[in-house]
Amino acid sequence: MKAVYTEHHRAHDPSQEVFLGAPIPAREVVQRAGIIRGALLADGGFELVEPVEHGELPILAVHDRGLLRFLETAWSEVRRQAIGRQSLVPDSIPNPAMFEGLSEAARARLREPVAIGGRAGWWGFDTSNPIVAGTYEAARWAVDTALTAVDLVLDGEAMAYGLCRPPGHHAARAMAAGYCFFNNAAIAAEAIVRATGERVAILDVDYHHGNGTQQIFWRRGDVFYASLHGDPSRVYPYFLGYADEIGEGDGAGANLNLPLPPHAGDADYLAALDRALEAIDATPGSIVVVSLGFDTYRDDPLGDFDLTRAAYAEAGRRVASLGRRLVILQEGGYHLPSLGKNAVAWLNGAREADRPPARTIGAA
C-alpha cells in the first residue's frame, strides 16, 4: 500500500497544551508521525511517497478564507505584537450568549479583532490547540498529504494512506479546534466529489466526534458522514456528536452519529462499525474517506474505550470488504507505545481483506 508522508509535519512542534486552565505536556506531538512511519517501514508492506503541493484552492473549497489567512499570519503577528510566548492559545473565545438580542444586522457587523489573542479566539474553539511557529507549514502539508492520497486512488490504487499530521476532523469551515487546523478529510472528500461527480462517504473512527467534518457537510446530500465516538455528554467536543444530529436540508439523513459508552470493547465497537458500514453500503459511490484514529485504544490517555489491537485488524478488514476504494487519513491516537503497531494492524487488515474487486470510479 502506498503511504503518503513528509517530514514537514515536524514544523508543528508544540511542547504544552492548556487543559482545564493549566499547562500540561502536549499530546499531539511530532513523535506520533515518526512512530507510525517507523512501523510502516518495519512492516515492509508499505511504499512511502512524498506529498505533492496542491495550493490553496482545495482548502478554500471547504474553509473560510479568513481561517486560512489567520493561520498563515498568526505566528508573524505573535512576534510583531511581542507576545513573548512559545505558543498561541486564545484568551477569549466568542460564546454565542455574548450576542443574545443582537439583530441580524448587528450580528453581521461583528468582526475579527486585530489583537492576536482575540483573533485566535475568533478562529478557535478550545485551549488545547496551541499554534506554534511552524503550525501553518505543517498544516498545509497535512492537506497536501491527504490530497496526494486522493490522487493515488483517483489514479487507480484500491487504497492509499495519508499520514496526516496535524489531524483535521475537528476543524470546521471557519474554526480550528482539537489539534486540527485544516480539515484534511473534508478537503479530500470535496476534491473527490469535484473530480468524480460521485457521492462520497466519510467514515470517522477516531475516538472523538468529527464535529468539523459534520459541520462542513451538514447541509450536503452528496457527502455522507458516519462517526463512531465517545458520547459528547462526557467528552470533547462536548457540544456536537449526538445521535439525533442527522443533517438538515439536502443533507437530512446524510449524517450518522454513533456515540458509545465508556469502556466500549471490541465487540461493541465492531457492532457499531457494522451499522456505519451498512449505511455507507446503502449510499452510492465508489470511494470512502476514512478518518482513522487510535485514541480508541484501551491504553490511550484521551479515550475511555477498551479496544485491543485485534479490533483494528478486524475493523480494517470490514471496511475494505465494502469493496470501495479507500482514502485513509490519520487523525488522533496518543498512546505512543502502541500507535505504530495499531496503525499497521488496521492498514494490513484492510490490505489483506478478502474483498470484492475495488469499484470502478464512476460506475456506481
Active site residues: 170
What distance in Å separates the CA atoms of residue 158 and residue 205, rounded to the nearest whole number? 20
332 binds ligand SP5 (CB under 6 A): yes
* Nearest approach, Cβ of residue 31 and Zn ion (Å): 17
Q: Does 236 bind ligand SP5 (CB under 6 A)?
A: yes
Residue 204 engages ligand SP5 in binding (rule: CB under 6 A): no
Among 7, 15, 19, 69, binds ligand SP5 (CB under 6 A): 19
Q: In this structure, are residues 245 and 257 in contact, taking their beta carbons and an 8 Å threshold?
A: yes
What does 236 bind: ligand SP5, Zn ion, none (CB cut-off 5 to 8 Å by kind)?
Answer: ligand SP5
Nearer of residues 266 and 331 to ligand SP5, judged by Cβ: 331
Segment contacting ligand SP5 by CB under 6 A, of 144-152, 172-180, 310-318, 344-352: 172-180
Mark residues 20-59: x for contact with ligand SP5 by CB under 6 A, - for none.
Answer: ----------------------------------------
Q: Which three cell numbers stand for residue 223?
A: 457527502
Stretch of 131-139, 178-186, 187-195, 306-314 contacting ligand SP5, by CB under 6 A: 178-186
Task: Pick what 259 binds: ligand SP5, Zn ion, none; C-beta below 5 to 8 Å, kind-dependent.
Answer: none
Nearer to ligand SP5, 6 or 184 (CB): 184
The cell numbers describing 37, all together, are 512511519
Q: Least separation, in Å, of the C-beta of 206 and Zn ion?
A: 4
* Options 173-181, 268-276, 308-316, 341-349: segment touching ligand SP5 (CB under 6 A): 173-181
Binding segment for ligand SP5 (CB under 6 A), chosen from 108-116, 139-147, 177-185, 275-283, is: 177-185
Q: Which residue sits closest to ligand SP5, CB atoms considered? A: 332
Based on the shown chain and the rule CB under 6 A, indicate whether residue 300 belongs to the binding site for ligand SP5.
Answer: no
Q: Interface with ligand SP5 includes 302 (CB under 6 A)? A: yes
Binding residues among 110-129 for ligand SP5 as defined by CB under 6 A: 128
Strand segments, DSSP code E, in the chain are: 2-4, 16-19, 22-25, 47-49, 159-162, 200-204, 223-230, 255-260, 287-292, 325-330
Selection from Zn ion, ligand SP5, none that 222 binds (CB < 5 to 8 A by kind) is none
Grid coordinates representing 233 are 455528554
Residue of 199, 331, 340, 353 that binds ligand SP5 (CB under 6 A): 331
Residues in contact with Zn ion by the rule CB under 5 A:
206-208, 293, 295, 332
* Closest residue to bound Zn ion by CB: 332
Q: Which of 144, 151, 204, 206 lies at the binding interface for ligand SP5 (CB under 6 A)?
A: 206
DSSP conformation letters of 245-307: ----GGGTT-EEEEEE-TT--HHHHHHHHHHHHHHHHTS--SEEEEEE--TTBTT-SS----B
DSSP string, 301-350: SS----B-HHHHHHHHHHHHTT-SEEEEEE-----HHHHHHHHHHHHHHH
Written as nine digits, the cell of 298 is: 484501551
Which helix H or strand E contains 136, and what residues bound it? helix 135-154
Distance (Å) of CA 330 to CA 78, 342, 364: 29, 12, 27
Determine the Cα–Cα distance for residues 180 and 125; give it in Å rounded to an integer: 11
Alpha carbon distance 113, 198 (integer Å): 40
Of the residues 58, 251, 293, 316, which one makes contact with ligand SP5 according to CB under 6 A:
293
* 8 Å CB contact between 174 and 66: yes
DSSP class of residue 28 equals S
| Residue 3 near residue 49, CB atoms below 8 Å | yes
The minimum distance between CB 332 and Zn ion, in angstroms, equals 3
Total residues contacting ligand SP5 by CB under 6 A comes to: 15
Residues lying near ligand SP5 in the complex (CB under 6 A) are found at 19, 128, 167, 170, 178-180, 206, 208, 236, 293, 295, 302, 331-332
